[in-house]
Structure 1
Amino acid sequence: MRLSTATSNTSNDETHKRLEDIRNFADWLLNIGDGNINPTDDGISDIQMLEDVLINDVKDPIGSIINCIYPDYLQNLGNPTYYQQRAILAPTHEVVNIINDRMMESLEGEARSYLSSDSICQSDRDSDFNSELYTTDYLNSINIGGLPKHNLSLKVGVPVMLLRNIDQSGGLCNGTRLQVIELCEKVIKAKVLTGTHVGKITAISRMLIVPSDKRIPFRFQRRHFPIAVCFAMTINKSQGQSLANVGLFLPKPVFSHG
């Protein structure tokens, strides 16, 4: 229904073909959900993916999906609208970092690295606290969702995403995408790409970030810029984003029941 509404501004011929494609795709998805494609007694079915949604060049899968979702991206660094509705989605931060690092390496210019300052929260420093268990090197190695990497490497022109709410009234919210325009020592200047303040120039400074991930058995804080490179992002992080050109890179099984 949402895709049908998005095509209402096109010409009649284009609208008719587009709506027909959408109906066929929607029927295919519904039949998968209802278990009507290759049904079996044990509930496990093999489903053939539609050819028009696949990238068949598997010699260099990362390079293939980059060329498909970001064609001529080196020539479009000065075009903010180019990055507004494009993204590569992957299931894990490890895969996302590989894609982001590869794309950033291909950009001209020298990268600038920013290191975080990590420490255990004062509230966890009780009498039983053993500082030898949580060394600085160990804290620096923690890489989880919603937390910037310890070593944040950036170049001018790179699209980034905010990981925290900074100024909601000014459009700087968790999930807002921006494009780096200047790398300073104390701040990072960037241009807003999404939301209600597109084109706004802002300066992002370091802040204290305490992750809420329950898998960490202690509380620690990271003082860093609350951003992450976002040529690619995790599937979870893409929720709430408006994207028109999306690539799914799934190097290992990702789907589960429900």
Structure 2
Amino acid sequence: MTDKHIFEAVDKSLKDVMRIVNERNAELPFGRKVVVFGGDFLQNLPVVSKESRADVVRASLFSSYLWSSCKVLRLTKNMRLQVGRTSDNVDDIWKFSEWNLEIGDGLAGGENDEEVDLQFPDDLLIQQVADPIVSIVNVTYPDLQSQLWNPDYLQERAIFAPTHEIVEAVNDYVLSKIDEDEVIYLSSDEVSNDDRGMADPDLHSTEYLNSIKCSGLPNHQLKLKVGAMVILLRNIDQSCAVAEDSAALL
């Protein structure tokens, strides 16, 4: 996901450093140092804000003058998925990975002009869909109430969602399936009015601030039940973090 100009800057820096050893190094990629790039263009393209698809491609390493000096090495075995699997499971995993790569390479469904109808295997589809969220939760987490305290049951399942709104809808429905009393915790909703803050604390109402839902900012309401799955993403209490680090050093 790194812009090609970053790699090109490293290339020029290493050339300047390594030319001290040998003048010819100034003409070789990365000053004759071996550099390994890891990644997959099908999954991780550079992030270029508010630009077109062509601008994103132009920012990738593939569009750099360095690409002509690169040798592509392809990994063909998924070692992590094969550990502890039977031969039948490995064969199924291989078939799925091949089908997945065909979609990424634009080969699935035959020749096309970037528009094609794909045939998905039946075992990847939820056949009976009245409410999408209800259906996918019930299929992914069958008999949830009796398995709440089974760590293996929870570790083997996950639901991916494209937006924060869908994540919240899935969380609310899963929480509703737990037969316990719900407790709601609220964030602090007072606007700071110190010298570094806003001159007018009434510029944004607390109702507006509490309604904001975006990446990196916790929701105003936190709904919990006994048995609900909770993941701590980061410690936002820096004073506690510093105290813990100091204790560890002592």
Q: What is the TM-score with the length of structure 1 in the denominator?
A: 0.56
State which structure, 1 or 2, has the greater radius of gyration over its C-alpha atoms: 2
SS in 1 for 2:159: strand
Structure 2 distance, partners of 1:151, 1:114, is: 6
Task: Specify which of 132, 135, 140 is matched with residue 205 of structure 2.
Answer: 135
The answer for the alignment partner of 1:87 in structure 2 is 158
Structure number with higher relative contact order (C-alpha < 8 Å, ≥ 6 residues apart): 1
Q: Does 2:74 align with 1:28?
A: no
2:41 aligned residue:
none
Are 1:125 and 2:194 matched, yes or no? no
- 1:99 aligned partner: 170
| Residues 162 and 52 of structure 1: CA distance in aligned 2, closer, same or farther (over 3 Å) | same
Shift of residue 82, structure 1, vs aligned partner: 2.2
Please list the CA deviations of residues 117-137 of structure 1 after superposition, one character each: whole Å capped at 9, or x if unmatched: 1344557525xx433331111
Bigger strand fraction:
1
- Greater displacement, 1-10 / 52-61: 1-10
Gaps of 5+ in 2: 1-75, 239-250
The 2-side partners of 1:83 and 1:34 are apart by: 33
As a proportion of its length, which structure holds more helix? 2
Q: CA deviation at 1:40?
A: 4.7
Aligned with 2:227 (options 139, 143, 157): 157
Closer, same or farther: CA 112–5 of 1 in aligned 2, 3 Å:
closer
The letter for the 2-side match of 1:146 is: G
Structure 2: distance between partners of 1:120 and 1:73 = 40
Name 1:114's counterpart in structure 2: 185
* Unpaired runs of at least 5, structure 1: 167-206, 209-258
Q: 1:54 aligns with which of 100, 125, 128?
A: 125
CA gap 1:71/1:2 in 2 versus in 1, 3 angstroms: farther
Q: Which amino acid aligns with 1:71?
A: P
Matches within 5 A, 1:1-258: 3-10=78-85, 15-40=86-111, 42-120=113-191, 122=194, 125-126=197-198, 129-165=199-235, 207=237
State the secondary structure of the residue aligned to 1:153: strand
| Residue deviations 1:95-119 (CA, integer Å, cap 9, x gap) | 1111111121221121111111134
Identity %: 43
Deviation at 1:3, TM superposition (A): 4.6
Distance 1:140 1:124, change over 3 A: farther
2:36 alignment counterpart: none
Aligned-residue CA RMSD (Å): 2.4
Aligned length: 162
Contact 2:191–2:206 at 8 Å: present in 1 too? no
Stretch deviating more after TM superposition (75-84 or 86-95): 75-84
- How far, CA to CA, are the matches of 2:80 and 2:174 in structure 1? 34
